Amino acid sequence: MTGIRQLADYLDISIGTVSRALNGKADVNAETRRRVLEAAEKLGYVPNQSGRSLRKGSTGVVGFMMQTGPEINSQGDAFFMSVFDGVQTVLSRHKLDLVALLCSSNEDPYAYLQRTVARGFADAIILSATRRNDARFELLHRHNIPFISLGRSLTDVGQPWIDLDFEGMAEIAIERLVKAGHRDIGIIWPHGDLNLGYVFADRCREVLAEHGLTLREDHIFRAKPSEAGGYAVAHEIASRSPRPSAIVLVNEILVTGLYKGFEDAGVKPGKDIAIIGRYSPQAQYLSPALTCFTLSLRDLGISLAEHLLSVIPDYQSHYVGQTPRVIWPMTLIEGTSG
Amino acid sequence: MTGIRQLADYLDISIGTVSRALNGKADVNAETRRRVLEAAEKLGYVPNQSGRSLRKGSTGVVGFMMQTGPEINSQGDAFFMSVFDGVQTVLSRHKLDLVALLCSSNEDPYAYLQRTVARGFADAIILSATRRNDARFELLHRHNIPFISLGRSLTDVGQPWIDLDFEGMAEIAIERLVKAGHRDIGIIWPHGDLNLGYVFADRCREVLAEHGLTLREDHIFRAKPSEAGGYAVAHEIASRSPRPSAIVLVNEILVTGLYKGFEDAGVKPGKDIAIIGRYSPQAQYLSPALTCFTLSLRDLGISLAEHLLSVIPDYQSHYVGQTPRVIWPMTLIEGTSG
């Protein structure tokens, strides 16, 4: 087992310096800290757990709160598995573990989090499924539990957040469709009261307005976040009069159903109706391949963890200079659907 | 807040009886226990947490161990979200919480579990991604931690397990294909060293043998558990000489890629090659609709939790008469792919 002494021998620096670097003291220069952390990872350094657990309230665990249920989170779950992988990459540098705090869809997320906090389960928390107004932020803030939210909210207690660039997605998608001659563009509203729906729809409206176009209220469609929901909404869109000539959607877990629904309704995707959506593992294997927005979920996870650690006293000196709020860009993959 | 007194008043039985029912004492009859638990759920009964936490080692938490990583678990993750929902339905009756213990693909599952055990993180554990030989069983057994495995293994410490009926799937799929005239049937091997691969392939061989047919070694194909893996293996199958006329696969997260791969290779699914697989949210929206095996994941989760609780002293009296090992049946959905 590699301890501090072995690390110091390997790097040929003093045990004191290694210790200060590992513990994030400010008097170690950045290059030395980087070398120590790299060596610690390479050699499989194991901190003295008994010493560590003496720190008051330290569990060594970071919780990622997410919702389960028959109607799963609008971001899908392949999404989360990849994000988790990135989060763990960072946490493992510090011998911290990640657990997923699974809030059932039957339970109020606030009550669930309250119980989790009372149990002293995790040192820090990552919140997902951010609501337009989100009382969980205030709860964690009151209890002095470091956290980061994946997603913005109107609620703001000064915590870091990272959100996907739904505004940028709206801009690029609408501009692309307008340029291709579309004048009547509809959107599928994301599930429920998630904040991203408002952000996305507002920006679509603004960009359309710049071209003298409007987002008709009856061209904002609602779908359940499932393939069955996609199938159903396709029929609804196909029968709407007037019918939009293009659709933009942010939910990636209903596209196979959407395609099939359009086909069964005699509306050919990519030909009779343009579609722009979000990347999913299926996107490029659909016919026509989906024009969609993508991002590295693993990198997003890494960034979430680094931003979270930047607000935890024990670790923050490793992660100085983090921008507290990040709009995470997405990249367009050109398919043939729109 | 509903306590024991409110429950007793509501049911018009003594506080002592309610308490004994809630605590699973044997001297309460089954019908009374059922009424008490139902009322407790209906009225939102909250046990006296301070009393409960006095029980030695009780965390109120059940852990579900799963693996994350860029190559996610072969069972996909939409799978897990639905299973979790069922598990939580049962745990919430007893005010127990479920957390997902996320073992990174970079880490040895045994070492990960060892650390989790050392932290005293959970009262009981559900294991997934069961290996052909699985040392995690022995670890939990040594530490007297109640657990259940989703999946069989050659390792057996007498714990309960539930496994999907991959043998039944093999039988029904092979019989169906043979009846349709197929003589040269191939399979796609599940990812890695998961036990289910051996169970499934062995039964396919046996059923084929009953018809005087064989499973050719060069008709056992290997694919990465992803749509890209499905796309790649389709090309491999299409160019194999002789080419099997039918394919059976247990992995549900590569079918869209598989279809597209066959199409791009000029082999039409359902026409030039028969395909039988596992249900996924996309299955019925593919063209042709996938003939596939399905199960209620929520019910599976409920059963996992009930079997687990049946081996935990505090709860087992509520769950007497559970069969310790269950082969979970799957149902065939007839599509047009095979």
Asked if B288 is an interface residue toward chain A (Cβ–Cβ < 8 A), one would say no
Return the residue matching tokens 């559900």: B126
Task: Give percent above pLDDT 90 in chain A.
Answer: 59
In this predicted model, what pLDDT tens digit does every residue of A246-287 receive, in sequence order?
Answer: 999 998 889 999 999 999 999 999 999 999 999 988 999 999
Nearest residue in A to B89, CA atom = A104
pLDDT at B197: 86
- Whether the CB-CB separation of B79 and B150 falls below 8 Å is answered with no
d(CA A21, CA A32): 7
If we measure between CA atoms, which residue out of A308, A303, A291 comes closest to residue A328?
A303
Burial of A286: CB neighbours in 10 Å, binned 0-12, 13-18, 19+: buried
pLDDT tens per residue, range B154-164: 999 999 999 99
Strand A220-222 and strand A274-278: the pairing is unpaired
Mean pLDDT of the A23-49 span: 69
Contacts of A259 in chain B (CB under 8 A): 285
Q: Best of B49, B99, B112 to disrupt the A interface by mutation (most A CBs within 10 Å)?
A: B99
Q: For A214-255, how does the pLDDT look when each residue is reduced to its tens digit (9 = 90+)?
A: 999 999 999 988 899 999 999 999 999 999 999 999 988 899
pLDDT confidence tier of residue B82, bands split at 50, 70 and 90: confident
Helix (H) or strand (E) holding A211: none
Element (H, E) at A57: none
Taking an 8 Å cut-off on Cβ atoms, the answer to whether A102 and B80 are in contact is: no
Q: Measure CA A292 to chain center.
A: 17
A80 lies within 8 A of chain B by CB: yes
Task: Determine whether the interchain pair A88/B68 forms a contact, defined as Cβ–Cβ distance below 8 Å.
Answer: yes
pLDDT value at position A77?
Answer: 57
Peptide bond into A269 cis (omega under 30): no
Alpha-carbon distance of B137 to A60, in angstroms, equals 24
Q: Is it the case that residue B305 has pLDDT exceeding 90?
A: yes
Q: Which residues contact A256 (CB under 8 A, 6 or more apart)?
A: A227, A230, A282, A286, B256, B281, B282, B285, B286
Determine the pLDDT at residue B49: 38
Per CB-CB distance under 8 Å, the chain A contacts of B98 are 102
pLDDT higher than threshold 80 for residue A57: no
A227 contact residues in B (CB cutoff 8 A): 281-282, 284-285
Give yes or no for B107 touching A (CB within 8 A): yes
The Cα A179–Cα A186 span in angstroms is 15
B-chain residue closest to A281, CA distance = B227
CA A291, B270, B268: angle at the middle one, nearest 5?
60
Domains of chain B and any CATH numbers: 4-46 (1.10.260.40), 61-163+297-328 (3.40.50.2300), 166-295 (3.40.50.2300)
Q: Model confidence over A122-171: pLDDT tens digits?
A: 999 999 988 889 999 999 999 999 999 999 889 999 999 999 999 999 99
Could you give the angle at the alpha carbon of B92 between the alpha carbons of B87 and B93, nearest 5°? 110
Confidence (pLDDT) at A25: 64
Q: Confidence band (pLDDT; 50, 70, 90) for A52?
A: very low
Contact B116 A97 (CB under 8 A): yes
Residue A8 binned pLDDT confidence (cut-offs 50, 70, 90): confident
Q: 10 Å Cβ neighbour count for B283?
A: 23
Query: Quick one: what percent of chain B has pLDDT higher than 90?
Result: 59
Sheet holding A291-294, edge to edge: A220-222, A185-189, A246-249, A274-278, A291-294, A331-333
State residue A44's pLDDT score. Answer: 60
Give the pLDDT score at B252: 86
**Rounded CA gap, B176 and B174, in Å?**
5
3-state secondary structure of A66: strand
**CA B94 – CA B315 distance, rounded (Å):** 8
Q: Do B285 and A227 touch (CB under 8 A)?
A: yes
CA angle A121, A123, A124 (to 5 degrees): 110
ipTM of the complex: 0.75
**Position A312 confidence tier, pLDDT thresholds 50, 70, 90:** very high
Residues 6+ apart with CB under 8 A from A181: none
The reported pLDDT for the residue numbered A55 is 41
Residues B176 and B163: beta-carbon distance below 8 Å: no
The larger pLDDT score, comparing residue A320 to residue B269, is at B269
In this model, does residue B4 exceed pLDDT 60? yes
Gyration radius of chain B's alpha carbons: 23
CA torsion B260→B262→B267→B269, rounded to 10°? -70
Q: Which of B99, B105, B106 is closest, CB to CB, to A99? A: B99
Which residue, among A319, A329, A311, A337, has the nearest Cα to A145 in the 3D structure? A311
What would you report as the CA-atom Rg of chain A, rounded to the nearest whole angstrom?
23
- Binned at pLDDT 50, 70 and 90, residue A49 comes out as very low
Distance from C-alpha of B222 to C-alpha of B241, rounded to nearest angstrom: 16
A104: nearest CB among B68, B70, B88: B88
The whole-angstrom separation of Cα B42 and Cα B35 is 10
Quick check: B95 pLDDT over 70? yes
Interface test with B, best of A102, A251, A264 (most B CBs within 10 A): A102
pLDDT at B54 over 60: no
Give the model's pLDDT for residue A74: 40
Chain mean pLDDT for chain B: 87
Please judge whether B285 and A63 are an interchain contact, meaning their C-beta atoms are less than 8 angstroms apart: no
What is the rounded distance in angstroms from the CA atom of residue B178 to the CA atom of residue B175? Answer: 5
Which residue in chain A is spatially nearest to B71 when comparing CA positions?
A: A82
Return the amino acid letter for A89: T
pLDDT range class, residue B52, cuts 50, 70, 90: very low
Q: Which residues of A touch B80 (CB under 8 A)?
A: 77
Per-residue pLDDT of B108-135, as tens digits, reads 999 999 988 887 879 999 999 888 899 9
Residue with tokens 């699974």: A102
Give the residue among B64, B58, B10 at the shortest CA–CA distance from B300: B64
Cβ atoms of A149 and A308 closer than 8 Å: no
Q: Which tens digit of pLDDT belongs to each residue from B249-277?
A: 998 889 999 999 999 999 999 999 999 99
From A37's Cα to the closest Cα of chain B, the distance in A is 17
Distance from CA of A188 to the nearest CA of B (A): 19
Which chain A positions have a beta carbon within 8 Å of B81's beta carbon?
A: 68-69, 72-73, 77
Contact A101, A122 (CB under 8 A): yes
**Are A85 and B107 inside 8 Å of each other by CB?**
no
- Rounded to 5 degrees, what are φ and ψ at A124? -155, 160
Q: Give the pLDDT confidence score for residue B44 in this predicted structure.
A: 60
Q: Please determine, for residue B100, whether its predicted confidence score (pLDDT) is greater than 80.
A: yes
**A with B: how many residue pairs have Cβ under 8 Å apart?**
135
Tokens standing for A160? 């870091």
User: Residue B2: its pLDDT value, please?
Assistant: 62
B94 three-state secondary structure: coil
Measure A280 CA to nearest chain B CA, in Å: 10
Q: What is the token pair recorded at B176?
A: 């169906």
Tell me the C-alpha distance between B149 and B177, whole Å. 32
Structure tokens at A33: 């800290």
CB contact under 8 Å between B104 and A82, yes or no, is no
Q: Would you call B285 an interface residue with chain A, using a CB distance cutoff of 8 Å? A: yes
B282/A contact by beta carbon, under 8 A? yes
| Residue A262 φ/ψ region, left for φ over 0, alpha for ψ in the -120 to 50 degree band, beta for the rest | alpha
Q: Residue B53 above 50 pLDDT?
A: no
**Closest residue in B to A255 (Cα–Cα):** B282
Q: Which pLDDT does position A67 carry in this prediction? A: 82
Q: How high is the pLDDT of residue B75?
A: 44
Q: What residues form DSSP beta bridges with B23?
A: none
B1, B80, B85, B112: best to mutate for the A interface, most A CBs within 10 A: B85
Say which amino acid occupies B73. N
- Residues contacting residue B253 through CB under 8 Å, at least 6 positions apart: A281, B72, B74, B76, B225, B226, B227, B280
Q: Which of A67, A68, A287, A336 to mutate to test the interface with B (most CBs of B within 10 A)?
A: A68
Percent of chain B whose predicted confidence (pLDDT) is above 70:
89
pLDDT digits (tens, 9 = 90+) for B199-238: 899 999 999 999 999 999 999 999 988 899 999 999 999 9
8 Å CB contact of A101 and B99: yes
Query: What Å distances lie between residue B170 and B185, B193, B197, B288, CA to CA?
Result: 12, 18, 11, 21
| Identity of the residue in B82, B97, B227 whose CB atom sits nearest the CB atom of A281 | B227
Selected residue of B258, B285, B302 to mutate for chain A interface (largest A Cβ count, 10 A) = B285
| Angle between the N-to-C axes of helices A166-179 and A195-210, in degrees from 0 to 180, rounded to the nearest 10 | 30
| The pLDDT of residue A316 is above 80 | yes
* pLDDT at residue B50, rounded to an integer: 34
What one-character DSSP code corresponds to residue B218?
G
| A82, A98, A107 ranked by CB distance to B102: nearest | A98
